[in-house]
A and B are shown apart, each in its own frame.
Chain A
């Protein structure tokens, strides 16, 4: 039993990672290194059409240009300190099989099925999660997508990105890069050049997707980067709720994850995108852990469209991510709800961009940062109201909670208003768990660990409540595990 709250918090912050094991599976892994040949090789492995290779190569050339510029390669504006990845020392493609695609579940190695089962994602027909369709991605390849046929009956396409390229090239070609062009930033360019798989989702006009769609990403192979792309298209009047989860084994070296997510919501469509990010955070001395450099953006293309990002970020050594919404359609709505929990030596610089273009557009940002150990947790957000965005409204609230006295919390709100009719509100608070709150809990017989869990859960409850019900419970458990001291 720790003797003081501070000591306890230090123990909490040193808690162990539960997903750190690795799967031994024979893999088709290409040699380390990055050049034009690697880009061509990945494209060839995936048997891609000419137009896609051409696009990758354009992205590659752009990346090479950016890589020559230190400011692009290692921007100084995030509140992050890290040694920049050695891009020549990473493997850009690793497939858990000689085949780049599985035709059916029978082809999937037992060990792999066991891996996902252990992660709480059973894929086998008789065990699959009720009400949730899952695309399971290991390293560079989608292992399996459940409920594909059932969804297809309503015209919903839910499959791996690789499969979409083969089966629905017209859709991929039309939308890929339309929200996050490869010129967007350094990591977006890298992803476009070397991405290996990811999820694809298309909801036809007027269809309400009857189940949660979910992609589960796992990095397994050592020295391998994960570069996946997700593309979600919601046609007019459709609705989909989508969830992404991620874990990785414990490794001493840093692993790079540079993903791109693009969402297109047409008029009256609604997309709810939720993330439970739990990449390996590194050990307490800051060794190892995933570098999570992610570009996520959605566009509300039509009037009354709505996109919400909800995220629980507990993992990664470094998180650099700003899920954003471009509010183009009139009366469109963008939302960002985030809980970011950092401990040990983790560093997170996360937030959102809300870009108001259409009239009467509305955005809401609620961010809760919890920092423990020697971690650093920053919120960075931009609210931009363009000239034509008559009567745009934004409400932002950023709350930080400090566990202990060796961690940091920072808030960097940027506001650009070009239309005087805009109404923008920003609130920010920083708190510690009060001694009197702890004492009140103790006095009711609630011990230290349970009291901190209660109070932290209370702090982020309104965000966790936004997650789809099936995952809200998972999320709370994850947070509880993260808060657990030396137990386990």
Chain B
């Protein structure tokens, strides 16, 4: 599904990613943890095609294609979805309108007819229910005045609507209360399929109790310095990151 080799990226002369290697197979869930500023969101942005970041070395294969050659909207149409750490507000643009547009562009890309209003509505209700999102929000402007938790649910709701092949979730758990975390995690689990992969960026082991990862990676200073099973998350929770930093330096 996804194969990242020796990926280097920088912004404004500052190197952020310093050789990321990561392979995600279809149907797998990978968690990425790591201290603030280590480059997790940067990795997500680079994969989604944010142009501010300049890739200076390495390559990324997505379903056998050179991902870095693709325009950001093309990546989305090819099934790459990013649940943003900080979802963006679009004043005046209703959720309804926005999602209709997104879905129909996707369908057009695949040579399908636009979704009928009825079918759209039905699908929307089902997906909103999946993450317990108030359907009233659909008539409001995208993320405009949404609470922190609503914004996060809204990302997963869109994930459900757009049915990606590769879903990257950037700290979806931050800002969710305990019950909401459970709901959203259940929603994500319901979306797990053997042809869909997840990259889950998080600071908290708790999320991984619900969304059980196949592999946990630790990112420090722009590199993945350790990978392991889900126990690794428990270790990190107990010991913090310093021991990994020290071991990395020792190596």
* Chain A residues near B (Cβ < 8 Å): 1, 434-437, 439-448, 450, 454-455, 457-462
Contacts and interface: CB of A to CB of B under 8 A. Distances in A.
B163 to A, nearest CB: 11
Given A439-B50, A459-B92, 4 more contacts: A439-B88, A445-B76, A446-B98, A462-B92
A444 B91 contact: no
A450 B105 contact: yes
Contact of B90 (A442, A458, A462): A458
B154 to A, nearest CB: 12
Contact of A435 (B48, B52, B93): B52
Given A437-B88, A440-B84, A459-B92, A454 B98 contact: yes
Interface in B16-64: 48-52
Nearest to B88: A440
Contacts of A462: 92
B159 to A, nearest CB: 10
B158 interface: yes
B158 A458 contact: no
Interface in B102-117: 102, 105-106, 109
A443 B47 CA distance: 11
B105 A442 contact: no
A446 B90 contact: no
Contacts of B73: 441-443, 445-448
A365 B142 CA distance: 26
Interface size bracket, B side:
20 to 34
A455 B90 CA distance: 7
Identify the 8 closest CB pairs spanning chains A and B, nearest first. A458-B92, A458-B93, A445-B76, A440-B88, A442-B72, A444-B102, A442-B73, A461-B92
Interface string B55-84: 000000000000000011100110001101
Contact of A440 (B81, B90, B105, B141): B90
Interface of B: 48-52, 71-73, 76-77, 81-82, 84, 87-93, 97-99, 101-102, 105-106, 109, 141-142, 158, 162
Contacts of A461: 92
B87 A444 contact: no
A443 B82 contact: yes
Nearest to A447: B73
Question: Interface on chain A toward B: helix, strand, loop, or mixed SS?
Answer: helix
8 contacts: A434-B88, A441-B90, A443-B49, A444-B102, A446-B98, A447-B73, A458-B91, A459-B91
Contacts of A460: 92
Nearest to B45: A439
A448 B92 CA distance: 18
A450 B100 CA distance: 12
Contacts of B106: 445
A444 B76 contact: yes
Contacts of B91: 458-459
A341 to B, nearest CB: 15
A446 B73 CA distance: 6
A459 to B, nearest CB: 6
The winner among A434, A447, A448, A450 for most chain B CB atoms within 10 A is A447
B49 A442 contact: yes
A321 to B, nearest CB: 25
Given A454-B90, A458-B91, A458-B141, A444 B52 contact: no
A385 B41 CA distance: 54
A434 B48 CA distance: 17
Contacts of B72: 439, 442-443
Contacts of B92: 455, 457-462
Contacts of B82: 443
Contacts of A439: 48, 50-51, 72, 88
A449 to B, nearest CB: 10
The winner among A435, A443, A458, A459 for most chain B CB atoms within 10 A is A443
B88 A444 contact: no
A435 B105 CA distance: 20
A297 B205 CA distance: 67
Contact of B93 (A1, A434, A448, A455): A455
Contact of A446 (B49, B52, B84, B101): B101
B102 A446 contact: yes
The winner among A437, A442, A444 for most chain B CB atoms within 10 A is A444
Contacts of B90: 437, 440-441, 454-455, 458
Contacts of B158: 444
A440 B102 contact: no
B52 A454 contact: no
A450 B104 CA distance: 11
A458 B51 CA distance: 24
Nearest to B99: A444
Nearest to A1: B71
A446 B105 contact: yes
Nearest to A434: B88
A445 B93 contact: no
A442 B128 CA distance: 22
A459 B90 CA distance: 9
Contacts of A444: 76, 98-99, 102, 158, 162
Contacts of B98: 441, 444, 446, 454
A442 B88 contact: no
A439 B53 CA distance: 13
Nearest to B91: A458
The winner among B50, B90, B97, B102 for most chain A CB atoms within 10 A is B90
A437 B91 CA distance: 10
